[in-house]
C-alpha cells in the first residue's frame, strides 16, 4: 500500500501452475496483509529479473506448496488491469499471468511459511465456484474446464 496521492501504474508478470489430479485443483490462499488476503490463488507469482517463466512457475510451486513439479506446458495467458481506487489503495497494475499445466508432482504438500500465501490445499473442481478466488485462479479454473470439455468423448 502507498500513502502517495500519485498513482504509479506498473506491469506485473507472473507464472502460475494449473495442477489438477483426480478431479481436484491445487490452490494457495493469499496471506494476511496482502492485496486479496484470504482469497485462493493458483500456486505461482512474480518472475525474478531474467527468470524464464517456466522456471518461475516451478520455483513458485515449490515455495508455496512444498511440491516439486516438472515439464510445465503452456496453457494460456491471463491479462487484466486493476486501477487504483478508494477500495484498492495500491498503485494501478496491469497483471499478466502465464499459466502452465504442471502434472508431474512429487513431495509432500505443506503450507508456505512467511511468504505471500499461508495455506495450500486440493479442492474438488465442483467446489471451486463457491470459493473466493482471485481473478487469475478463476481464469485458470475456466481453462481447466474448457480443456476437460474439449477432451471429453462425444
Q: Express each pLDDT in 84-135 by its tens digit.
A: 988 888 899 999 999 999 988 999 999 998 889 999 999 999 999 999 999 9
Q: Give 148's pLDDT tier (boundaries 50, 70, 90).
A: confident
Cβ pair 1, 89 in contact under 8 A:
yes
Quote the pTM value: 0.91
Query: Exposed (0-12), middle (13-18) or buried (19+): which is 43, by Cβ within 10 Å?
Result: buried
Residue-averaged pLDDT of the chain: 93
Whether 3 shows a pLDDT value over 90: the answer reads: no
Longest dimension (CA), the chain: 56
Q: Express each pLDDT in 37-90 by its tens digit.
A: 899 999 999 999 999 999 999 999 999 999 999 999 999 999 999 999 888 888
Cβ pair 101, 72 in contact under 8 A:
yes
Cβ pair 12, 98 in contact under 8 A:
no
CATH numbers and ranges of domains, the chain: 10-151 (3.90.79.10)
Whether 2 shows a pLDDT value over 70: the answer reads: no
Q: Report the distance separating Cα 90 and Cα 8, nearest Å.
A: 9
Q: Report the distance separating Cα 148 and Cα 146, nearest Å.
A: 5
Which residue in 12, 25, 62 sits closest to 142, CA to CA? 25
Amino acid at each position: 500500500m502507498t500513502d502517495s496521492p500519485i498513482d504509479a501504474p506498473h506491469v506485473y508478470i507472473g507464472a502460475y501452475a494449473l495442477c489438477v489430479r483426480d478431479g481436484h485443483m491445487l490452490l494457495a490462499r493469499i496471506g494476511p496483509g496482502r492485496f486479496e488476503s484470504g482469497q485462493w490463488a493458483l500456486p505461482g507469482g512474480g518472475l525474478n529479473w531474467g527468470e524464464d517463466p517456466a522456471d518461475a512457475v516451478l520455483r513458485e510451486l515449490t515455495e508455496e506448496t512444498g511440491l516439486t513439479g516438472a515439464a510445465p506446458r503452456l496453457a494460456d495467458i491471463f491479462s487484466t488491469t486493476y486501477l487504483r481506487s478508494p477500495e484498492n489503495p495500491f498503485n494501478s497494475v496491469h497483471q499478466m499471468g502465464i499459466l502452465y499445466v504442471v502434472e508431474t508432482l512429487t513431495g509432500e504438500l505443506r503450507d508456505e511459511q512467511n511468504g505471500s500465501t499461508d495455506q495450500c490445499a486440493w479442492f474438488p473442481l465442483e467446489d471451486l465456484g463457491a470459493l473466493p478466488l482471485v481473478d487469475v485462479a478463476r481464469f485458470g479454473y475456466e481453462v481447466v474446464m474448457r480443456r476437460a470439455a474439449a477432451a471429453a468423448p462425444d
